[in-house]
């Protein structure tokens, strides 16, 4: 079993890298990539914990990017952790995330919630707060009855506290991953509501920048959809990746390494890796 997409509590996952590793070993995952949103902080602890275990750990990250008016997620796999460009990019993304969070906080303060940013940080337990944390603040302050309503009335695009993030472009993300010796993969291509034409344009820009892979199986994607992506992957000459996009029990319906098998006719991205251990 190979799982190349999951999250730890260093981004929005529920568990530590150590707990994820335990779960991976328990379910028989042989190759695991931790792909936290815009951070590589969880990778060292994961490597340390996995040292004497019979599992291969692949360095991973899920970068938030902007392509036209879409927020596109690009996975970086098998890169060097010490690469300077990648480390600088991670810092820059984190600054953009914090700047956005503070802007959302100010808008919510205007809407009558004092210290919304600080309260969101308190709920999160760190300063990388995102909209779900602000939604929790709105519920806590009695402004809305639940998270969904918080998004609907305040946080969604077009609502008073919506602020877009200044993410990097797809091209920048791919270039830095390649510079760091890794491979770039388009994450869950069906999650962006792109028309077929737009998806092909995205793939084209992605490949031009040096991207080589596409996630064919992701989380609870339907078999028919995975087959469709497998065909597209082959047509486009891309390597196929697979991952559960596991965020923890209660957050994800598909467990670590429990996503369906990769359709047979595509070329798995790991055929180009040396998997020793
Ligand atoms: Mn997530
Ligand atoms: Mn994603
Ligand atoms: Mn993800």
The closest ligand to the CA of 60 turns out to be 3
Compute the distance between CA of residue 270 and CA of residue 121 in angstroms, rounded to an integer: 38
Measure 180 CA to ligand 1 centroid, in angstroms. Answer: 23
Q: What is the mean pLDDT of residues 231-255?
A: 93
pLDDT at site 128: 79
Which stretch of 47-56, 123-132, 235-244 has the lowest confidence by average pLDDT?
123-132
Determine the distance separating the centroid of ligand 1 and the alpha carbon of 201, expressed in angstroms.
25
CA dist 243 and 216 (Å) reads 9
Gap from CA of 226 to ligand 2 centroid (Å): 16
Q: In the predicted model, is pLDDT for residue 214 greater than 90?
A: yes
Q: In this structure, how many other beta carbons lie within 10 angstroms of the beta carbon of residue 31?
A: 18
Average pLDDT on 200-228 reads: 96
Q: What does the pLDDT average to over 231-235?
A: 97
Q: Give the pLDDT confidence score for residue 12 in this predicted structure.
A: 84
Query: What is the Å distance from ligand 1's center to 116 Cα?
Result: 22
Residue 277 confidence (pLDDT) above 60: no
Q: Give the model's pLDDT for residue 126.
A: 82
Closest ligand to residue 187's CA = 2
Quote the Cα angle for 238-89-201, to 5°: 35
Asked if 77 and 4 count as a contact pair (C-beta separation under 8 A), the reply is yes
Give the separation between CA 209 and CA 202, rounded to whole angstroms.
11
Measured in Å, residue 247 CA sits from the centre of ligand 1 at: 7
Whole-angstrom distance, CA of residue 77 vs CA of residue 23: 21
Distance 43 CA to ligand 1 centre (A): 16
- Ligand 1 centroid–CA 273 distance in Å is 26
Q: Are 25 and 53 in contact (CB under 8 A)?
A: yes
- Among the bound ligands, the one closest to the CA of 35: 3
* CA 252 / ligand 1 centre spacing (Å): 10
- % of the chain at pLDDT higher than 70: 99
Centre of ligand 1 from the C-alpha of residue 189, in Å: 15
Q: What is the pLDDT of residues 157-193, one digit of tens each?
A: 899 999 988 889 999 999 999 999 999 999 999 999 9
- pLDDT given for residue 274 in this prediction: 80
Residue 53 has pLDDT above 70, yes or no: yes
Say what the pLDDT of residue 276 is.
57
For the residues 189-211, what does the mean pLDDT come to?
A: 97
Ligand nearest the Cα atom of residue 14: 1
Q: Picking from 5-9, 14-18, 132-136, 271-275, which range would have the lowest pLDDT averaged per residue?
A: 271-275
State mean pLDDT over 188-202.
97
Ligand showing the shortest atom-to-Cα distance for residue 189 = 2
**Mean pLDDT throughout 120-145?**
91
- Which whole number is the average pLDDT over 124-146? 91
For residue 4, the CA-to-ligand 3 centroid distance in Å is 10
CB 245 within 8 A of CB 252: yes
Cβ contacts of 215 within 8 Å, gap of 6 or more: 5, 75, 185, 186, 187, 188, 189, 229, 240, 241, 242, 243
Using 50, 70 and 90 to split pLDDT, how confident is the model at 251? confident
* Closest to 58 in 3D by CA, of 165, 213, 193: 213
Helix axes 116-124, 84-110, angle to 10 degrees: 130
Cα of 131 from ligand 1 centre, angstroms: 12
Q: What share of the chain is helix, strand, coil (3-state, %, to 5)?
A: 45, 20, 40
pLDDT computed for residue 149 by the predictor? 95
- Residue 56 near residue 277, CB atoms below 8 Å: yes
Q: What is the mean pLDDT of residues 262-270?
A: 95
Task: Give 62 Cα–ligand 3 centroid separation in angstroms.
Answer: 6
What is d(CA 49, CA 248) in angstroms, rounded to the nearest whole number?
Answer: 18
The rounded Å distance from CA 52 to ligand 2 centre is 30
End-to-end CA separation in angstroms for the chain: 15
Measure the CA–CA gap between 186 and 205, rounded to whole angstroms.
11
**By mean pLDDT, which of 22-26, 70-74, 192-196, 247-251 is the weakest?**
247-251
CA of residue 188 to ligand 2 center, whole Å: 7
**Is residue 138 within 8 Å of residue 157, measured between CB atoms?**
no
């Amino acid at each position: 079993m190979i799982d190349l997409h999951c999250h730890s509590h260093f981004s929005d996952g529920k568990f530590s890298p150590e707990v994820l590793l335990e779960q991976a070993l328990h379910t028989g995952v042989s190759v695991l990539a931790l792909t936290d949103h815009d951070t590589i902080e969880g990778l060292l602890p994961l490597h340390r914990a996995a040292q004497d275990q019979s599992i291969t750990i692949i360095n991973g990250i899920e970068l938030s990017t902007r392509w036209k008016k879409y927020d596109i997620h690009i996975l970086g796999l098998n890169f060097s952790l010490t690469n300077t460009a990648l480390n600088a990019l991670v810092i820059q993304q984190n600054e953009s995330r914090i700047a956005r969070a503070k802007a959302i906080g100010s808008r919510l303060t205007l809407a009558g919630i004092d210290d919304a940013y600080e309260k969101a940080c308190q709920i999160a337990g760190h300063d990388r707060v995102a909209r779900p944390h602000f939604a929790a603040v709105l519920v806590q302050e009695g402004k809305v009855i639940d998270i969904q309503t918080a998004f609907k009335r305040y946080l969604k695009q077009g609502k008073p506290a919506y602020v877009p993030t200044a993410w990097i472009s797809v091209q920048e993300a791919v270039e830095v991953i390649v510079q760091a010796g890794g491979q770039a993969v388009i994450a869950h291509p069906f999650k962006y509501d792109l028309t077929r034409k737009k998806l092909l344009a995205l793939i084209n820009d992605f490949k031009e920048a040096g991207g080589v892979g596409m996630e064919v199986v992701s989380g609870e994607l339907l078999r028919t959809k995975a087959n469709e992506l497998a065909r597209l992957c082959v047509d486009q000459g891309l390597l196929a990746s697979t991952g559960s996009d596991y965020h923890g029990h209660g957050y994800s319906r598909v467990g670590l390494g429990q996503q369906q098998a990769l359709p047979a006719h595509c070329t798995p991205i790991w055929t180009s890796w040396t998997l020793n251990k």
